[in-house]
Amino acid sequence: MEDTKKIRVLIAKPGLDGHDRGAKVIARALRDSGMEVIYTGLRQTPEQIVETAIQEDVNVIGLSILSGAHNFLLPKVIQLLKEKNAEDILVISGGVIPEEDILGLKEAGIAEVFTPGTPTSEIIDFIKTHVK
Amino acid sequence: MDTIEAVLNGNKRSIAKLITLIEEKSHDAKEILKKIYTHTGKARIIGITGAPGSGKSSLVDKLAKILRSKNKKIGIIAVDPTSPFTGGAILGDRIRMQDLALDEGVFIRSMGTRGALGGLSKACYDAAKVLDASGMDYILIETVGVGQSEIDIAKLADIVLLVMVPGMGDDVQAIKAGIMEIGDIFVINKSDKDGADRLVTEIETALGLCFEKKELKPPVIKTIATEGYGIEELVETIDVLWEYLTKKDYLKIKRTNRIRQEIIGLLTESVLNNIMTTYSEKIEFLVEKAVKRQIDPYSAAEIIIKEKSL
Amino acid sequence: MSDKNSLEKLRKEKTLWEETKLRKILEKHPERFEKFYTNSNIEVEPVYTELNVQDLDYLNDLGFPGEYPYTRGVQPNMYRGKLWTMRQYAGFGTAEESNQRYKFLLSQGQSGLSVAFDLPTQIGYDSDHPLSRGEVGKVGVAIDSLKDMEILFDGIPLDKVSTSMTINAPASVLLSMYIAVAEKQGVAPDKLSGTIQNDILKEYVARGTYIFPPSPSMRLITNIFEFCSKNMPKWNTISISGYHIREAGATAVQEVAFTLADGIAYVEAAINAGLSVDEFAPRLSFFFNAHNDLLEEVAKFRAARRLWAKIMKERFYAKDPRSMMLRFHTQTGGSTLTAQQPDNNIIRVTIQALAAVLGGTQSLHTNSRDEALALPSEDSVRIALRTQQIIAYESGVTETVDPLAGSYYIEYLTNTIEQKAREYIDKIDKLGGAVKAIEKGFMQQEIQDSAYRYQMEIESGRRIVVGVNKFQIEEEPPKGLLKVDPEVGRTQEIKLKELKSSRDNLAVREALKELHSQAKTDANLMPVILKCVKCYCTLGEICDTLRKVFGEYKASITI
């Protein structure tokens, strides 16, 4: 592979739930599609996520959350990104997120919410189309 | 330029963006690197290498915490291998260091080896320069010790910590692979495991053979990184070694070699690039002939060299 | 089983059939796939005969129900005597709300309680901890102190119900709270029956709600074993869980193998702590998953039972038959539920519940159809419970013990799963046991490989999930999902403030000091934790004290 531009993605789990099956499957699929995936694992606070995203200069933040705390934690990440002038970073999320919450999350600035059953190829395509 | 000033002031976003430019081999990056070079050379570059599972990331995490308690600024570069098949990578060393994520005095960057075929990429050298220029006191570079990267880290770092674990067959491996020479300090991590003392003895014996003629034998330190055991001692050892290396001019020799290597490397790359672009057709023609056994590779190369010098 | 001649004849007949009848049809109509597999990637042949199980020895390998090696079940007459315990895992919001839900479930004919705690409680944080923001009361009930626990079981006689608590890292604290509540009701510890999950190893492997590193965690667990063996003879001290391992993507074989490997580690830890095997082993219980591959799942339960019995007898020299009996709770597979066409989940749950019953489960939780979307609503929970009741009272599968025994396919799968699980356990032994294997990331890696393969099979269309990658429809967003009041966090914070100003803070300080100093010794910590709980130390205060002594576990990455 030539060292051209590579898409860098931060995969993190905000909140306290330990279900990382989805996050890890996604991380692996993104790697296999040629991206660099920074994986920080469980129990990440919004502050940690945003600071990590900045230092790692990622194009995308992918947040997996199944604890039900999405309405609090996801908008918080967006807000912190704005405070750090880093709102150009694409934020996507996945997990158990009810349909009725998705609209609100998108209004808050989450680019897309992928619910259970989404093929990884769809997520890869989404990232490739939306990262300039 | 704004970026230069911001990097020199330690602005994390700018540092991060500049490292990305370096990784993308952008022309801008080269220009900025030229300008910040005079600000480099202050940081102590510590390489940490060892087999997968030897606990390097935990060690880096704990080292950084102790150094932070002494009010030192820390840059960390964690290198993981890039898949040669897909070009992708999972960079997961940070997971152990996330307590440091919000520390103002710490900057952590994960890097894939990208095109460097198992070794350290040029980008890693340059990223270290950026962190150096940005005012870091220590730069900790963590690499998986497999083959080329161990050799590379010995060139890049001022001091190399070679991390080993009892019961992993590390001792034998290291002695066999002839990498004893690259370690400036040997860290026996997870030293609460069976066989730690035996490993220490074996390493010391092996070092005795390697370093017969030198006055300072590399120290061997026992740690349990996950519990923070032995880390204070390790930091002290690094400092003592640093004093010694400086006093004896060994550091200067090491750094001179590194810079010479870098210049030679750049020259090689640029001359080679030049030849490859100017003579690409000619080279292909000669390759064809060599395939048909009408010319041998040595003569083929000589033909190009001659043409070039004409 | 049969003599050589008749097997030889059978073999010949089968070859003949393959080369004539079967081949002819294959030439005309190729099969749907080149090869067929169970859900867990065991290759499946077109037909099974005695040839596949020719070494099976009825008395040695199956035996009668209630007899070693317990392949057919742990009781002689199984559900003809007593049905399994129908136990729906529930809990959300505040202790008051959960208490209402428990009373509802008991009034609907549920026979035991199963308490779900919220994540801060599971990780030992009080509701006012910064990391608890947004999490309080979300996936279970928030318990900060004995005060909450008193409310949770208000009006529920603890000598009459059995209670299962899904709590691991801080299990000692929640168990102490339960004992203290019972005491206030006038019920002595030896009258209490129920289960604490208390299985830290699978937290490191699959579930992620750990606090302390492995070695102090194992100590807390053996402390509980010892305490209960003396004071709570009816209490299941651990529920060694394959459930979450399976949910993380493991195959059925891996579920059995890794769960039993964890079990071996607990038995060894307790023996090393000086307990004798028959003192604690009868109170070990297990917790498995039930997925959609009906027959493979039934075989899985049977294989697990037989393998555990052999391990206890041959490896640990258990004498008490109860030490060899693998008793287990089953929950249907959460990860098999789909957000698409959620009513389809009712059918999935039915198949899975049937597998658990045909496999001889001791208790069962059936998932609700809406759990891929949110916490279950009351309506959904009722359907889930009714599913169990229909299997119990209408399906007829309960009238005889282990009805699928003797099926060539079932016995073949039982043998295969046992054998493959044993191979894994041997490998884990070589790595130095379950704790070492986990520290090295071995189990995690194996599970993730399976999870990834599964996902790729769905994406390639080799594996069909109805409503997800085939038979999709346009859907309206589902309605009537349960919403947890976002104010729960605030309510809990206020309660905590009130508690801290009204309790005897001097006693609290003293108790925590004692805990701190005892944690540094190798004393059994249960008595001092019970003391802390009784003077209303909060869960967070107790766990923080232990964090100071034990440190915290950090996961390593395995992808």
* Count of the separate structural domains present in chain A: 1
pLDDT one-digit tens code per residue, C243-290? 999 999 999 999 999 999 999 999 999 999 999 999 999 999 999 999
Q: How many CB pairs under 8 A join B and C?
A: 19
Assess if residue A14 is contained within a domain.
yes
Distance CA C445, CA C205 (A): 9
Return the sign of the alpha-carbon dihedral for residues B226, B228, B230, B232: positive
B107 interfacial to chain A (CB closer than 8 Å): yes
Residue B169: what pLDDT?
67
Inform me whether the pLDDT recorded for B104 exceeds 60. Answer: yes
pLDDT band of A2, cuts 50, 70, 90? very low
Mean pLDDT within A125-130: 96
pLDDT band of A98, cuts 50, 70, 90? confident
A17 interfacial to chain C (CB closer than 8 Å): yes
Assess if residue A1 is contained within a domain.
no
The pTM of the full predicted model, rounded to 2 decimals, is 0.91
**% of chain B with per-residue pLDDT over 90:** 63
Assess if residue A25 is contained within a domain.
yes
When scoring B15, B19, B94 by the number of chain A Cβ atoms within 10 A, the one with the most, hence best to mutate, is: B94
Return the sign of the alpha-carbon dihedral for residues B114, B119, B122, B128: positive
Nearest to A38 among B91, B121, B123 (CB): B91
Assess if residue A76 is contained within a domain.
yes
E-assigned strand segments in A4-77: 8-14, 36-44, 60-65
Cα angle C251-C254-C255, degrees, rounded to a multiple of 5:
85
User: Cα distance from A105 to chain C (closest Cα, Å)?
Assistant: 15
pLDDT one-digit tens code per residue, B148-180? 777 788 888 999 999 998 877 665 666 666 667
Cα angle C245-C250-C254, degrees, rounded to a multiple of 5:
90
| Contact by Cβ (8 Å): C238, C285 | yes
pLDDT one-digit tens code per residue, C106-130? 898 887 899 999 999 999 999 999 9
Distances in whole angstroms, Cα of residue C287 to Cα of each of B38, B68, C300, C305: 64, 45, 13, 12
Task: Output b/e per residue, C302-317; b: 16+ Cβ within 10 A.
Answer: bbbbbbbbbbbbeebe
pLDDT one-digit tens code per residue, B107-135? 999 999 887 766 788 899 999 999 999 99
Cα angle B237-B239-B240, degrees, rounded to a multiple of 5:
65
Inform me whether the pLDDT recorded for A3 exceeds 50. Answer: no
Count of beta carbons in the 10 Å neighbourhood of residue C354: 21
B52 interfacial to chain C (CB closer than 8 Å): no
B143 interfacial to chain C (CB closer than 8 Å): no
Question: If contacts are CB pairs under 8 Å, which of residues 277-336 in chain C contact chain A?
Answer: 335
A36 interfacial to chain B (CB closer than 8 Å): yes
| Domains, chain B, ordered by start | 41-247 (3.40.50.300), 261-309 (no CATH)
Question: If contacts are CB pairs under 8 Å, which of residues 83-112 in chain B contact chain C?
Answer: 90, 92-93, 95-96
Side-chain-side CA neighbours of A44 within 13 Å: the count stands at 35
User: Cα distance from B34 to chain C (closest Cα, Å)?
Assistant: 37
Residue B215: what pLDDT?
65
Nearest to A31 among B25, B83, B98 (CB): B83
Residue A67: what pLDDT?
87
Task: Output b/e per residue, C141-173; b: 16+ Cβ within 10 A.
Answer: bbbbbbbbbbbbbeebebeebbbbbbbbbbbbb
Assess if residue A2 is contained within a domain.
no
Interface touch A69/C134, C-beta < 8 Å: yes
| Domains, chain C, ordered by start | 78-438 (3.20.20.240)
Mean pLDDT within B281-294: 94
Assess if residue A80 is contained within a domain.
yes
What CATH number is associated with residue A17? 3.40.50.280
- Candidates A42, A97, A99; CA nearest to A74 is A97
The complex scores an ipTM of 0.94
User: Neighbouring chains of C at 3+ CB pairs within 8 Å?
Assistant: A, B
Nearest to C459 among A39, A73, A119 (CB): A119
- Supply the mean pLDDT for chain B: 89
A82 interfacial to chain B (CB closer than 8 Å): no
Residue-number span of the structural domain to which A115 is assigned: 8-130
559 residues of chain C, pLDDT tens digit each: 467 889 999 999 999 999 999 999 999 999 999 999 998 889 999 999 999 999 999 999 999 999 999 999 999 999 999 999 998 888 788 899 999 989 988 898 887 899 999 999 999 999 999 999 999 998 899 999 999 999 999 999 999 999 999 999 999 999 999 999 999 999 999 999 999 999 999 999 999 999 999 999 999 999 999 999 999 999 999 999 999 999 999 999 999 999 999 999 999 999 999 999 999 999 999 999 999 999 999 999 999 999 999 999 999 999 999 999 999 999 999 999 998 999 999 999 999 999 999 999 999 999 999 888 877 888 999 999 999 999 999 999 999 999 999 999 999 999 999 999 999 999 999 999 999 999 889 999 999 999 999 999 999 999 999 999 999 998 887 777 777 777 889 999 999 999 999 999 999 999 999 999 999 999 999 999 999 999 999 999 999 999 999 999 988 777 7
Residue C491: what pLDDT?
93
Residue C390: what pLDDT?
98
Assess if residue A3 is contained within a domain.
no
Interface touch B95/A39, C-beta < 8 Å: yes
Assess if residue A48 is contained within a domain.
yes
Residue A1: what pLDDT?
38
When scoring C436, C553, C556, C558 by the number of chain B Cβ atoms within 10 A, the one with the most, hence best to mutate, is: C556
